[in-house]
Structure 1
Amino acid sequence: MPCLIARPAAAEVRAPDTSADGYTYAELTPENDTGSAALADEIALAIAYNGLSQAVMMVSPNDLEDFVHGFSLGAGFIESIDAIYDIRLTPHGDAISAEVQVSNRAFWALKEQRRQLAGSTGCGLCGVEALDQALPDLPVLPTAPLPPAAHLAGLRERVNAAQEIARRSGAVHAALFVDGSGEIRLCREDIGRHNALDKLVGALKRQRLDTRDGFAVVTSRCSLELIHKALRAGLPTLVSLSAPTALTVQWAREHNLNLIHLPHRSAPRVYSPAPKAL
């Protein structure tokens, strides 16, 4: 088990701060006026699989079971959420431990992955192992049609309206799923951009929603790690409100992931699939 500061355990996992008063502040002005603002919550989440400690993440304390499912899948620890049998969340003051029970096959694969990393640290191969994790072999997706342009119209405004935590406190990222009719079906928010997508993927898988005709939206910078998570989740299309990196576009094209950037004041830009030569 992770080493956590001993504090009285709360009766249940805390929800995000919804206090009307929020936190007081003083403005750095000659008048020194004061006010109050709601701030985003943040906790440490320690994750263990079958009693084996794996990771400690800083997350927003909402939709944690969605996060654990999505994180486990996105990190490659499991191949399907059906490998997760149970999740037990236990509060420890400002921290929460997640005890995850997985199948014997998934646990064996997780231990083998850890053994290979540990065994390479003394022979100069740790960098190679790290590169294997950063640039893994991932499935090539079946070719999927691009979403209709009408489904992207006014999307920024609709995303802003769906972000309840961001409207209250700011400082959070969001990942959303837009279904085949162009409606926002799910919205997950977190202080971490990777965490927000993990929560969305976990929710999609747990609710068994069909993602083939829809697309995911991320409000954050679109880097390679988000492409990894989208590919492992089998999402056909990823729409980013921020521009992608060059490597992100390259990987999206190589793996048949539709990748679209939605600029503030320009038409949607389809980076993957690559545009046909004129």
Structure 2
Amino acid sequence: MICRVEPSVAIGDANAPAPQPLNVSYREYDEGAQVAQAALAAEIALAITYNGLSQAVMMVSPGNIEDFIRGFSVSNAIVDSLDEIYDIQLTHFDQACQADVEISSRAFWALKDHRRQMAGTSGCGLCGVEALEQALPQLESLQPAPLPPAQHLKGLRERIEEAQIMGKSTGALHAALHFGADGTALLCREDIGRHNALDKLIGAMQHAGIDARSGFTVVTSRCSLELIHKAVRARFGTLVSLSAPTVLTVQWARKHHLNLIHVPHRNAPRIYSPV
């Protein structure tokens, strides 16, 4: 077995601290390597409504949820002060949490007047989504694809640096790259947003008629859940990330038969999916 996720931990108290990382099994690409375990962070989809009006869904760590809602409400100018938050009711699901927030009439009317101008700032890429069904969508599972040969991942970071032209000069851009069946970098797209970089790559691949099932795709950013969504919709065979995935990311990759590999800085590549 390559990857196993232990049962999820209940959130418990409404404002409980973040749970301990969960252990996830993986296998290194080294020949004869044993199955090992790594502690990965948890994440859930949090939907927030104000006085019954759906406002946003974002991916968050499942801890201190009430603190996040209070801070989000103040920092996004939904309320002027915590005095305008009258109540917070949390409903927990398997991979999500619904927060129903009651705020003052003044704040609610101001929110309705300005909600179109509100921009999400959590950095998760899902702010502004107004339904949990969109944050945790039903996706068509892929046909399993073979893993890329181990030698195609050797020196990957150096090869990415060579291909990432703008990133070398600015130091502030994410990149998404596709490597062909022979391990050669075919396309590289860069952007300040990790989701934008992957969208650019998907568009370029489809425009060029590149088979997404052949070879592998690399993201230089954190492998967040929404990147898994994009990879599955684009019918990728293998997604490689330079940052560790979360538990939920691994679960979704396994569920949809997407190969998921993490390439750490100093260790051999880790296969988290398939099982």
TM-score (norm 2): 0.53
Q: Which residue of structure 1 aligns with residue 265 of structure 2?
A: 264
Residues in 2 aligned to 1:220 and 1:213: alpha-carbon distance in whole angstroms: 22
Shift, 1:129, TM fit? 5.7
Residues in 2 aligned to 1:259 and 1:137: alpha-carbon distance in whole angstroms: 19
Aligned-residue Cα RMSD (Å) equals 1.4
Whether 1:228 and 2:232 are equivalent positions in the alignment is no
Flag structure 1 segments of 5+ consecutive residues without an equivalent.
Answer: 1-126
Change in Cα spacing, 1:273 to 1:189, as seen in structure 2 (3 Å) is same
Equivalent pairs counted in the alignment come to 148
Q: Which residue of structure 2 aligns with residue 197 of structure 1?
A: 198
Contact 2:180–2:186 (CA under 8 A) maintained in structure 1: yes
* Residues 160-191 of structure 1, C-alpha deviations (whole Å, 9 max, x = no match): 11110011111100000000000000000000
Q: Which residue of structure 2 aligns with residue 42 of structure 1?
A: none
Q: Which residue of structure 2 aligns with residue 211 of structure 1?
A: 212
Shift, 1:263, TM fit? 0.3
Q: Which residue of structure 2 aligns with residue 134 of structure 1?
A: 135
Residues in 2 aligned to 1:137 and 1:128: alpha-carbon distance in whole angstroms: 15
Residues in 1 aligned to 2:264 and 2:157: alpha-carbon distance in whole angstroms: 9
Shift, 1:210, TM fit? 1.6
Q: Which residue of structure 2 aligns with residue 184 of structure 1?
A: 185
List 4+ stretches of structure 1 deviating above 3 A: none
Residues in 1 aligned to 2:272 and 2:158: alpha-carbon distance in whole angstroms: 22
Question: SS of 1:235's equivalent?
Answer: coil
1:74-223 pair list within 5 angstroms:
130-223=131-224
Residues in 1 aligned to 2:213 and 2:134: alpha-carbon distance in whole angstroms: 27
1:45-64 pair list within 5 angstroms:
none
Contact 2:250–2:273 (CA under 8 A) maintained in structure 1: yes
Amino acid at match of 1:266: N
Residues in 1 aligned to 2:213 and 2:247: alpha-carbon distance in whole angstroms: 25
Amino acid at match of 1:147: P
Whether 1:247 and 2:248 are equivalent positions in the alignment is yes
Shift, 1:211, TM fit? 2.2
Contact 2:212–2:234 (CA under 8 A) maintained in structure 1: no
Greater relative contact order (CA < 8 Å, ≥ 6 in sequence): 2
Amino acid at match of 1:183: T
Residues in 2 aligned to 1:237 and 1:210: alpha-carbon distance in whole angstroms: 12
* Residues 1-24 of structure 1, C-alpha deviations (whole Å, 9 max, x = no match): xxxxxxxxxxxxxxxxxxxxxxxx
Flag structure 2 segments of 5+ consecutive residues without an equivalent.
Answer: 1-127
TM-score (norm 1): 0.52
Shift, 1:212, TM fit? 2.0
Residues in 1 aligned to 2:163 and 2:130: alpha-carbon distance in whole angstroms: 40
Residues in 2 aligned to 1:142 and 1:190: alpha-carbon distance in whole angstroms: 30
Change in Cα spacing, 1:149 to 1:246, as seen in structure 2 (3 Å) is same
Change in Cα spacing, 1:167 to 1:129, as seen in structure 2 (3 Å) is closer
Residues in 1 aligned to 2:131 and 2:221: alpha-carbon distance in whole angstroms: 24
206-215 vs 236-245, greater mean Cα deviation: 206-215
Amino acid at match of 2:214: D
